């Protein structure tokens, strides 16, 4: 089997045993990128020359028995809203098309300590606002399983790069499902950690109380390895918390709750069937399963699309043409700011800024934003109560498999509904993971989502591995040759 199809642990074993070299792996990965990028457009930039030298340094460490761990020499793609010092960080927006970061994000500092190779920066929906990667100012990314379809979003470039094997793993950011949804669309594992366990310092903010960095990988163990490397308290992030993990059972004593509201109208039969298939397998193994109800989940889209745009309108106010990024001149400073934002922001970003500014306006703050915050608190309480009865919650990751490019661009509300199942975990700050389990009738991947209470990330990953072994899904796209 080719090196690019192996897991991180398998690759490390080969490096340690001197049966393969990181430079050989990178050569394999770069050749794949060179042949697939024109078709998929997963990366916005590839770091070829820099990586050749870094890979050779990894070769020397393994030759001398001095490797720094499992991630030494492993090529990982980075979503282009995460800062890497000296590299462009565009957020797939004209507004930042010329912005070169003067510092590293904390997750990059942590991965640097592991001697990771960065394949490059991946495409995304502009400022991470979207569910299809069609909102990028630099062109859409295509799904490696079928290029007529979207890879999901906003981390669609990261997911497509892992799926196509132009990276071994990738970092994405998840505000309302932007790691899990594209992972599900591309037949991969997507993991959103507990809010605060991975530093957001150096992640260009969309909605600060919801954003979370996490991995997209071919399997659960790879996600665990990357999560362990990037997690931990960071004094540079005011929302960072100590990653004091809580252990909950993941053996047959674990209790699994099926979320009633995410198995009803709005969810396709195919997505429901994947959950039923997994539940049948768990039941046969002796796991305890019960249906649970979380009524406020039905309001999660409404809550999210008041809170997230409100936070985005505040965060994006900094892009005014004065300090950094695009500047379009005008006769006055006000006109310059107006011209810059008109040209620099795309339609979806403008839509969300307008929604957020309206929700935060003096006459409507309590009526909209204030009510959304109170509803969010009640939703968090609902989850807290449910986790007194069950250890894990299961649902579809997405209402349907991937949709065709252009199918939902004229209907924003229909596009927003793509995140119906994933948004609740962000609102409640829960760890959540998508695991690929099967294919639709169009041979497109479908995934199942698992959630657990805060700070049970490692237990969630362990339980996810149980399901992964049972379904034994081949993550390599059927549309690409091995």
Active site residues: 79, 154, 178
Report the alpha-carbon distance of residue 481 to residue 48 in Å, rounded: 23
The residues, any chain, with a CB within 8 Å of residue 117's CB and separated by 6 or more, are: 22, 26, 47, 51, 54, 55, 58, 73, 74, 75, 76
> Which whole-number Å values give the CA distances from 285 to 311, 356, 395, 451, in the listed order?
44, 47, 19, 20
Report the alpha-carbon distance of residue 386 to residue 195 in Å, rounded: 19
DSSP bridge pairs for 449: 395, 434
Report the alpha-carbon distance of residue 90 to residue 340 in Å, rounded: 15
Nearest to 195 by CA among 454, 397, 453, 384: 454
DSSP-assigned states of every residue in 175-200: SSSTTHHHHHHTT-EEEEPPTTSB--
If 0-12 CB within 10 Å is exposed, 13-18 middle and 19+ buried, where does residue 336 land?
A: middle
Helix axes 347-360, 300-315, angle to 10 degrees: 100
H-type alpha helices, 288-332: 300-315
Report the alpha-carbon distance of residue 240 to residue 107 in Å, rounded: 12
What is the CB neighbour count within 10 angstroms for residue 131?
A: 29
Asked if residues 391 and 246 have their Cβ atoms less than 8 Å apart, the reply is no
Asked if residues 220 and 468 have their Cβ atoms less than 8 Å apart, the reply is yes
């Amino acid at each position: 089997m080719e090196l690019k199809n192996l897991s991180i642990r398998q690759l490390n074993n080969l490096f340690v045993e001197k049966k393969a070299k990181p430079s050989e792996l990178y050569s394999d990965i770069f050749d794949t990128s060179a042949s697939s990028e024109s078709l998929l457009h997963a990366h916005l930039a590839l770091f070829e020359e820099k990586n050749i030298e870094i890979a050779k340094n990894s070769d020397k460490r393994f030759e001398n028995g001095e490797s720094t761990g499992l991630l030494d020499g492993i090529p990982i793609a980075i979503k282009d809203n995460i800062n890497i010092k000296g590299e462009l960080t565009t957020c797939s927006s004209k507004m930042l098309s010329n912005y070169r970061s003067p510092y590293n994000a904390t997750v990059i500092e942590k991965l640097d300590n592991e001697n990771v190779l960065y394949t490059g920066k991946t495409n995304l929906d502009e400022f991470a606002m979207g569910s299809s990667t069609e909102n990028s100012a630099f062109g859409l990314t295509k799904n490696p399983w079928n290029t007529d379809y979207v890879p999901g979003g906003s981390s669609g470039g990261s997911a497509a790069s892992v799926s196509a094997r132009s990276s071994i793993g990738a970092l994405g950011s998840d505000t309302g499902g932007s790691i899990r949804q594209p992972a599900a669309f591309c037949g991969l594992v997507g993991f959103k950690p507990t809010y605060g366990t991975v530093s957001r310092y150096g992640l260009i903010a969309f909605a600060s109380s919801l954003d979370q960095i996490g991995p997209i990988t071919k399997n659960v163990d790879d996600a665990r390895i990357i999560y362990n490397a990037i997690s931990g308290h960071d004094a540079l992030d005011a929302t960072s918390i100590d990653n004091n993990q809580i252990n909950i059972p993941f053996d047959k004593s674990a209790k699994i709750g099926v979320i009633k509201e995410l198995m009803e109208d709005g969810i396709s039969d195919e997505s429901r069937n994947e959950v039923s298939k997994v539940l049948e397998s768990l039941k046969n193994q002796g796991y305890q399963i019960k249906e649970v109800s979380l009524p406020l989940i039905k309001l999660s889209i409404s809550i999210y699309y008041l809170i997230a745009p409100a936070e985005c309108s505040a965060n994006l106010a900094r892009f005014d043409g004065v300090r950094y990024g695009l500047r379009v001149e005008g006769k006055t400073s006000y006109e310059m700011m107006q011209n810059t934002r008109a040209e620099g922001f795309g339609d979806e970003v403008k839509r969300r800024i307008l929604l957020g500014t309206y929700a935060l306006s003096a006459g409507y703050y309590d009526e909209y934003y204030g009510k959304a915050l109170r509803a969010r608190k009640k939703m968090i309480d609902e989850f807290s109560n449910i986790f007194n009865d069950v250890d894990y919650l299961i649902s579809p990751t997405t209402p349907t498999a991937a949709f065709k490019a252009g199918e939902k661009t004229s209907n924003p509300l229909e596009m927003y509904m793509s995140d119906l199942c994933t948004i609740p975990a962000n609102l409640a700050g829960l760890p959540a993971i998508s695991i690929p389990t099967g294919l639709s009738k169009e041979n497109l991947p479908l995934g199942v989502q698992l959630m657990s209470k805060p700070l049970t990330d490692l237990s969630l990953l362990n339980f996810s591995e149980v399901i992964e072994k049972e379904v034994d899904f081949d993550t390599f796209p059927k549309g690409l040759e091995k």
